[in-house]
Chain A
């Protein structure tokens, strides 16, 4: 599966990642090479194999529905790029 510049642009958008125009071709060729590596798996019949979900087949542990953590908003917002009145600030989204 060859990845071209158009696919890189689509995927970069899905990943919310700006890619410099002059590097798109390079990323396309690197992605093509790594995905070619993955094609070795195509030779193996896996129709009757279950996909592995967890190395030791553990299931999701449930905990008691009880309040434990205390509010840490100030500590967490102290390291945020922009906050005001307990809110995280981003560029205006709604006109």
Chain B
């Protein structure tokens, strides 16, 4: 039953094939047996089984919430009341939030059962999950390789069939890139579509929560319950949410898809380019047409991102001061020492690096040259997309330039690591929705195609991804070790 999708689980729970308690018990045993992947920071079996038991009782009494009794897991960036929330950092090693993130509340209200909290790069800063204070996560397809990041634990847990779906967050590709590396489906909605309340902030103008699962259909089922306006998030968008699962079966016929020439250049491995050509052929058979487009400022996305994201990170992370919550150093001699040593001990290397870069970019004399310049470039990148969407319904390209790389392969060079997100960052800078869908295997490692839609076109992205998954079976492929 660990291979069942949420769509199947819902049917099986409804028909009584198995109970939520039986399913959760089975998955908890699998999680314990796959500790070597290190996908979870916290597993709360007692809490999960209690919730599953209640879900079973509620079902027996006639309740039928959309995800009633369905096991999921939350990225450890989402605050969970009474359950430790670390954000992958020593700073929050013992942090037990007094409140739930809105996403957690909404998924609880939909009836889901959380099995635990998934591993991640510290404060979501990373593309390999090697920056977690709680250790690296192994890619279930090849445990000598990274699962991607920052939602690496969420992706690895789904790929290893430890849980059917997980929440993730995406600031520069942190849902889509690990989804591609682990052979699963992951959607980053439009900026503001999913509430950021209780989602620990990294770069507030880019951060967006989303869903990760084996299929687009399951992502739709999760997003149906996650999306929506939240008055507790000042950047939440107050407009109706589409019926994501209801639009999955729309026809793709007549859909116009743009192929940016910048996404098919020398940055892309030839083998991934081949898988994309096959995907394009499949979508053509379904009735989509393809148009070459020009996103001329794409090469500036990584440079702009590595100014904007560190700048916002340095500002957001100033809240960790050793005073109100989080790590505090021992025996501070004065207040400055308290701040400086608590932060030095609590934050890891990559987080410190980004705080320094961001502080530099925002400091007197450099603000215009770096931050304002990057925000102007961001506008140009956004305008490229606006022009493209006058011509096409969505844009197709690779999610990543290569399949999953080896652990420790890119840790010595931050810039090499940053370039992994070359194809995912543009959608974050423009605030657009994007989805990564498995589209092939290269050297027995999964790779993903990325679809980027216009604002609030999540339903269309999920629809096209679902239709693609009706005629291909890449999303059903599993690591050889999974039986």
Residue pair A18, B238 in contact (C-beta under 8 Å): no
A75 to B96, CA, bound (A): 10
Residues 278-315 of B contacting A (Cβ, < 8 Å): 297, 299-300, 302-304, 306-307, 310, 314
A67 within 8 A of B: no
A79 to B85, CA, bound (A): 12
Residue pair B234, A60 in contact (C-beta under 8 Å): yes
Residue pair A44, B380 in contact (C-beta under 8 Å): yes
Residue pair A38, B353 in contact (C-beta under 8 Å): no
Closest to B347 in A: A17
Binds A, one of B52-60, B123-131, B338-346: B338-346
CB distance from A23 to the nearest CB of B (A): 9
A19 to B340, CA, bound (A): 9
Residue pair A49, B98 in contact (C-beta under 8 Å): no
B482 within 8 A of A: no
Residue pair B372, A51 in contact (C-beta under 8 Å): yes
Residue pair B234, A46 in contact (C-beta under 8 Å): no
CB distance from A35 to the nearest CB of B (A): 7
Interface majority SS (helix, strand, loop, mixed), chain A: loop
Residues of B within 8 A of A44 (CB): 297, 300, 377, 380
Residues of B within 8 A of A31 (CB): 353, 356-357, 360
Tell me whether A52 and B357 are in contact in the complex, defined as CB-CB below 8 angstroms, given that A18-B344, A33-B415, A37-B415 are known contacts: no
Residue pair B431, A34 in contact (C-beta under 8 Å): no
A11 to B328, CA, bound (A): 21
CB distance from A71 to the nearest CB of B (A): 12
Binds A, one of B61-69, B180-188, B268-276, B319-327: B319-327
Residue pair A17, B355 in contact (C-beta under 8 Å): yes
Q: Can you give 28 A-B contacts (C-beta < 8 A)?
A: A15-B318, A17-B343, A17-B355, A19-B352, A30-B353, A33-B415, A34-B414, A38-B303, A38-B307, A38-B370, A38-B374, A40-B303, A41-B307, A44-B300, A50-B379, A52-B376, A52-B378, A54-B235, A54-B431, A56-B455, A78-B98, A79-B97, A79-B98, A81-B322, A91-B332, A91-B335, A92-B334, A93-B335
Q: When A and B form their complex, which 6 residue pairs have the shortest distance between CB atoms, in order from nearest?
A: A55-B431, A51-B375, A81-B328, A18-B344, A75-B98, A46-B376
B interface residues (Cβ-Cβ under 8 A, vs A): 95-98, 190-192, 205, 231, 234-235, 237-238, 297, 299-300, 302-304, 306-307, 310, 314, 318, 321-326, 328, 332-341, 343-344, 347, 352-353, 355-357, 359-361, 363, 370, 372-380, 382, 413-415, 418, 429-432, 455
